[in-house]
Amino acid sequence: MREQQAKRSPKDIYLIVGLGNPGFEYENSRHNLGFKAVDILCEKLGLHLTDQRFQALSTSANYHGKKLILTCPQTFMNRSGLAVKYLVEYYKPEIGNMMVVHDDIDLDAGRIKIVRGGGAGGHHGVESLIYYLGTKGFDRARIGIGRPRYDEPIEDFVLNPVYEDQQRTIGHVLHLVVEAIESFILEGVETAMNNFNSLTMREKE
C-alpha cells in the first residue's frame, strides 16, 4: 500500500481544506462552517480526523481511485496557510486539485459558490493561504452566511452562531457543499460550478 501511494500521480491527489478556529468556544460559529463541512464528509465516508501532524487534524483515504486528504488546520484562522503549506509540501497535490471550504459574508445564507482561484475577498483564512502558498490558484467552496442583521461588528458576527431561523437552512447547505466537493473530485471544478452555483436553500415558510 505504501509503495502504491508513493507512485500515485499528483493529478490523482486531492486536498480538501476546511477553515475554522480550534476550540470548543468556536465550534458552532459562522467562521467554522468549513470545519463542519469536512466533518460531514468524513462522517459520510466513515473517516476520522485522527492525524495530528502539520498543525492540523487530517485523514486520508482512497476515493474512487484517487488519494483524498481531508484536513482542518488547527493554527487559528489567520494562520491557516501555515498548516496547509506543510500539507501541500508533504502530499504534493496539484494546486488545481485543492479546494478550500470557508464561510463568506458576501453570499446570502442559503447560497454556496464554487470558485476557481481569485482573491481572498477579505477572508483572513484565505488571505493566509494565499500568503503561505504563494498562489491564488486553489479552488474554493464558499458558504454564504450573509451580513449582520443587527449592526454587529463583522469580527463578532463571524465568531458567533448563525441566527436561529437560519440554522436548518445552513444545515442543508453544508450537505450540499459535501455533494459539491464530491463533484469537484470526480467531475472537475467546472461541473461543480455549473451544478451548484445556481442553487439556493431557503427555509420553508
Q: Which residues are catalytic?
A: 31
Count the Cβ atoms, other than its own, within 10 Å of residue 180: 25
Question: CB neighbours (10 Å) of residue 137?
Answer: 14
Cβ count within 10 A of residue 7: 7
| Local structure of 48: helix, strand or coil | coil
Cα separation, 70 vs 57, whole angstroms: 8
* CA atoms of 161 and 58, how far apart (whole Å): 24
CA distance 98 to 16: 6
Q: What percent helix, strand, coil does the chain show, rounded to 5?
A: 45, 20, 35
Looking up cell 484562522, which residue turns up? 77
The SS3 of residue 103 is strand
